[in-house]
Structure 1
Amino acid sequence: MSFKVTSLFSGCGGMDLGALGGFEYQGKHFEAHNTEIVFSSDIDKYAVDIYNNNFNHKSILGDIRELKDEIPKHDILIGGFPCQSFSIVAQNPPRLGYKNDTGKLFFEMVDVLKKIKPSVFIAENVKGILSANKKQAFPLIINAFEEAGYYCCSEILNASKYGIPQKRERVFIIGFRDKNAFDSFCFPKENEEVIPLKKVIFSECSIDEKYYFSEKAVQGMLKNKEKMNKGRAQNINEPCNTITAHLSKASLNSVDPVLFINDKYRRFTPREAARIQSFPDDFEFNTSDTRAFKAIGNAVPPVLMWNVMNNIIKALSDCKYIKNSAA
């Protein structure tokens, strides 16, 4: 029997692909895990369309607050919960608050843990969550997971240390209901090999002219470069800086990474961005460039997630885990 996985805030499926395994990336095979997705959802229509074009199981379009009753029993809960709206409400003792509806979504993940009681959860978020609200928010988030019945640990993982050509730092929070499994778990070891950006970008002769910046944009950047400290041209012999969901709007006066090759500045293509995120080349983005960039930039790198899931399954095996939550 396989481990049953529920995926919240699934986006286009980077986290899910890593949880499943069974894909190729840059000449390396990432073997399939003994897992299956039994529920997946997201509120972004275009991300769901991409997801459903690439997976046999289908993601549900909708607000998780309206879909919770549809979630089946499962062994592992995964999700990169939105964090933009967390704030600390000044009470004694302090508690976790929120500024708008987006901030409430964290509690939906906690509610699923309380109701379904899966054996493990994996939560991913931006590094900035550690310092949010003068470093008060993160301990309260961990406390909420612990109060749901989980032994928790967290780590900042840099994608470039796991065979991915991107310096992307994200916080992973792992929680186990079983103390023995928790004690057996360790975060994946970093790789010695660093993958440079040049391994995943295409030859300039194959790049459409629409990805190059105009001479006017270049001159404007050069004129204001010292003042604005922008023009984030990447060293192709190193991993790329973090790509974001805004790559379609990348300019020479933004913080988004760009390329400077053969004396010309250009944006990445969607496929290059997908490679930088460690998506395999057969993962299709059947949408416009703008929507593809958003989905890619918001995703969890599949190879990074694969490494995390691999160690979770090892921990469950080490403690002779007996499936019961999804029986």
Structure 2
Amino acid sequence: MVFKKMLGALGVGGPSVDTVLSNPNTRPGLPLTGQVNLTGGSNDVELAHVTLGLVTRIEVETGGGDHGAVGEFHRTPVAGRFKLNAGQQLSIPFQVDMPWETPVTDVYGQRLHGMTMGLRTEVAIDRAVDKGDLDPVAVHPLPIQERILEAFGRLGFRFKGADLEYGRIHGVNQTLPFYQEIEFFSAPQYAHGIREVELTFVANPQTVDVVLEFDKRGGMFVGGHDAYGRYTVPHADADAADWAQVVDGWVRQALDQRQSFFASRGGFPGMGGGHGYHGGHQGHGGHRGSGVGGVVAGAALGVAGGLIAGELIENAFEDDGGDDGGDFGDE
């Protein structure tokens, strides 16, 4: 797309840029490829650099509550300093390696309500930086993530929403400064003991940490509380287990708990054992994300209703220098 703000940032008659993705669909750990097409303006110009950045919306907790902020979480240099002559057309191929912890935005072709992702092209001349419009990117789950999401749907859990929470999860080796929460309403067979479940994936090249937070119902004499679980599953086990049975085991273990965190009880079939909790987020004050309400189409997630697209990016993090980051579009 051609940056509408390029003239304002780099001067009238400056260069224009059109970033083209080979395929906007990708997965965590896989490359995103394409080319940055530059067209020189009315004068020769020396560009300081061309850089691509992955941009998303994150919920940040402040004293007055949560608010959505938008910012860049991964940068890839495309070109260093070079001269672009007047009227010159130049195409620069690129490859952006998606971080393994990149949040999932789409499942079975449907956008998760509350999720958005874009690739932003930054073109810089000395003392002038243009951060232009965003090319939308769809991040699909890894096979092991897809099996687990499908298992929740098979068991009757209903998708509630998804968002990104700023902070870190206790006991998890996390490289990004945020984590994704995918929220489900309880399935009928567990509704007597659990209201909702929040699911977080933290992936690396060999395994995925599955972090669960259960909002438990209280009884006549006992108040409700949260239960937590953490399990490590190898990518190779995606097709090596009945994941509905595995997830059912996780949920029933939470129902049997009498404490606020999981005691170590070993693993389940087809996966590595583990335990832990989804609380004590560093820099997050132990806050539980409220998630984004609404539903999204997709039978595999046990979801009803029509597709609700993710929100458009409107604001930027403070370190973006006040730039509004642009909008997703086709122009």
- TM-score > 0.5 by shorter chain: no
Structure showing greater radius of gyration is: 2
Structure with the larger strand share = 2
